[in-house]
Structure 1
Amino acid sequence: MQIVFAILSAFVVTFILLPVLIKVSRSIDLLDNPDRRKIHSISTPSLGGVAIYMGFALSVLITVPFHLLTEIKFILFGTIIMLLLGVRDDVASVTAKHKLAIQLFCALIVVYLSDIRLTGFYGLMGIYEMPMWFNIPFSIFVIVALTNSYNLIDGIDGLAGSVGILILGFFGWAFLAQGELAYAVMCISLVGSLFAFLYFNWFPSKVFMGDTGSLVLGFIVSSMAIHFINVADGGGFVLPINASVGVGMSLLVLPIFDTLRVFAIRFYNGKNPLDPDRNHLHHGLLKLGMNHAQATITLVVFNLTILGLSILLNNYLKNGELIIAIASVVLVFLVVFEIRLSKLKHLKKQVTKPTNFYISKSA
């Protein structure tokens, strides 16, 4: 019953706040305006993440029993800082080094104070344990890297929200099955907020989540991924999870794969890997003639397919073997995708589609 109330309350609060936020943003001209770097052609409010967070936070506070809030208090504190960072960046850009410093601080809070960290390599390369002097900075790096990877997929209407629902919905189910009520409610509350957000963010979008939303979402997803790896291995789930690292990576395959691919392209072209461009997977699908909804659904189905495959194989393969199997499937997809893009470029076909889509500042 608590889970149902969590998702409903988060949905209702976010659904009520978003139209107000959109109206206020337009009245004070607090909009993400098009320029030569961005692709959307219509000035659009980009603080949708504020409404997402309000629905999420209020739902968690009224649903999680008070004595269980201590389990997630440092994560919630970290999300507040990430929220403020996102608002500041959406209103007036923050320098990359300042943004990184704040993200490192938030990750340190979660890793050191909440003890959400990778304690080893879980059998990868034959390594199971690693010393604290290494696992703390390594865990901080993973959280910051995954947070920014998630931020990069916020490039078309509906994508970041839809992927977030898939990932956090799975985590919520896993934590609930393991008796981790506070973590389950946190994930499911955010799912409720994202469902409400998608109503306004589905193409044509009336609001963007902005860095305000994508940074908070990426921070929670990355933290929950580490917690999932630690509590899920061999846990008593409806579907047994015996290779938690492989399953966890399959959940995050889209942001990880997209980031690695984009960075490789930028390195190959001699560009700064942090410079924004239009080489993301979602941009490629749009070039192939898909609209925002079709591209979003395609990428979500791709992510869901990889997840389903990993769940089926995790009973038979160890973490390293499962990761190799996932990488092999992704490689096949990549080859087919790149061949289609190269043919499109070679034939010089131009697809006439609406171009008012949003590209994250960090993308």
Structure 2
Amino acid sequence: MDLSFPLSITVAAPLLSFLLSFFSILWLITVKNDLFLDQPNERSLHRVPVSRIGGLGLLFGVIATWLCYSITIPDSVLIGIGSLMVISLADDVWRAPIWCRLMVQTVVAVWFSMSLLLDVYGWGFVAGTVVAIIWMSNLYNFMDGSDGLAGGMAVIGFGVYGWLAYVAGANDFAVINFSITAAAMAFLMHNFYPARIFMGDVGSIPLGYLAAALGVLGWLYHLWSMWIPVLVFFPFIADATVTLIKRLLQGKKIWRAHREHYYQRIVQSGFGHRNTALAIYGLMLATGASAVWTNEQDMAIQIRVVMVWGSIYLVLMGVSDWNHGTHSDQG
């Protein structure tokens, strides 16, 4: 990691990423081929066909910027992003089989974990990291179901990563994250309610992978503890994980699309896409701010902060379950 990375590039690179993503997404909006349109159905929250390949433009801006400025990033990460984009785009267009998607996700996660962690931390840690990367990749996709939500999470989450790297003097790693932040901000300008384009699996799966992989890299570079990425992306992790566990206990097929996530309930309750996104942005900013503060504290305090947020979310989700059950009974 090159700590002497020019400060000017810390500003110029995100700006380039923003411009490349903004205009490439603007062009993608004009592509009206039926293969790329997300048709509304009984499980979706939108009512008219919308393009679902916005993630291509978002990631194009990021990767082009990294290559333009010769950003140092492990090959396993770059090739992993490319592999996930290919299989995810195939799923967006032709509905790739779940076993095929999981196989590619597993290979990418195993390669990253083995190449960076095996020699020092052993097989047990590698296995846990593989599971975490695969889950983060998919939960980010699960949470991409309301206008502005996944894009806003990327802006805030990678923005916090970038800030923590910047204040630690790791300008190169800050640029990696700020480039994603800027591209996500460009995407959000087209995706905030009413969305003109969706991220699609081609965007959400690689972003989830990056959230996990860069979280691990920041830990390896001694920029933060392993608890910090959990805090930064806590709103997505809590909603998706609790919803998955509930569906497993109910014997439902967890890979099937549904409208049982807590954010989906909020939208359907009449709160709407815009207000739901803004409310969750507030939660994201709060967990992100707590991560920035917690990063300067000892491990015991970090664990307590995670437990406090976990308790807060369990209460909020418990209230949502009770309210949902009450209204269902009345209906």
- Within a 5 Å distance, the mapping from 1:51-130 to structure 2 comes to 51-64=57-70, 69=72, 71-113=73-115, 115=116
Unaligned runs of 5+ in 2: 1-7
- Within a 5 Å distance, the mapping from 1:1-363 to structure 2 comes to 1-23=8-30, 25-27=31-33, 30-64=36-70, 69=72, 71-113=73-115, 115=116, 131-232=121-222, 244-312=225-293, 315=297, 317-348=300-331
TM-score using structure 2 length: 0.89
Aligned residues: 322
Q: Which amino acid aligns with 1:80?
A: G
SS in 1 for 2:174: helix
* Partner Cα distance (1:338, 1:117) in 2: 41
TM-aligned CA distance change 1:220 to 1:310, over 3 Å: closer
TM-aligned CA distance change 1:27 to 1:104, over 3 Å: closer
The answer to whether the 8 A contact 1:6-1:192 is kept is no
SS in 2 for 1:337: helix
The answer to whether the 8 A contact 1:310-1:326 is kept is no
* Partner Cα distance (2:271, 2:197) in 1: 21
- 1:34-59 CA-to-partner distances (Å, cap 9, x unmatched) read 23444422111111111111111111
- 1:278-335 CA-to-partner distances (Å, cap 9, x unmatched) read 1112111113221111101111211222333455456263444333222222222223
TM-aligned CA distance change 1:35 to 1:225, over 3 Å: same
SS in 2 for 1:94: coil
More helix by share: 2
Deviation of 1:170 after TM superposition, in Å, equals 0.7
Pick which of 134-143 and 30-39 moved more.
30-39
Q: Which amino acid aligns with 1:325?
A: V
* Partner Cα distance (1:140, 1:117) in 2: 11
Unaligned runs of 5+ in 1: 120-130, 236-240, 349-363
* Partner Cα distance (1:16, 1:150) in 2: 24
TM-aligned CA distance change 1:27 to 1:133, over 3 Å: closer
TM-aligned CA distance change 1:329 to 1:311, over 3 Å: farther
SS in 2 for 1:34: coil
The answer to whether the 8 A contact 1:245-1:319 is kept is no
TM-aligned CA distance change 1:276 to 1:311, over 3 Å: same
The answer to whether the 8 A contact 2:232-2:291 is kept is no
* Partner Cα distance (1:148, 1:168) in 2: 17
Pick which of 25-34 and 217-226 moved more.
25-34
Q: Which amino acid aligns with 2:56?
A: V
Q: Which amino acid aligns with 2:19?
A: V
TM-aligned CA distance change 1:101 to 1:288, over 3 Å: same
Deviation of 1:134 after TM superposition, in Å, equals 1.4
TM-aligned CA distance change 1:254 to 1:261, over 3 Å: same
TM-aligned CA distance change 1:310 to 1:8, over 3 Å: closer
* Partner Cα distance (1:256, 1:18) in 2: 27
TM-score using structure 1 length: 0.82
* Partner Cα distance (2:205, 2:9) in 1: 27
Q: Which amino acid aligns with 1:194?
A: A
Q: Aligned residues: percent identity?
A: 22
Counterpart in 1 of 2:4? none
* Partner Cα distance (2:34, 2:40) in 1: 17
SS in 1 for 2:318: helix
Deviation of 1:144 after TM superposition, in Å, equals 0.8
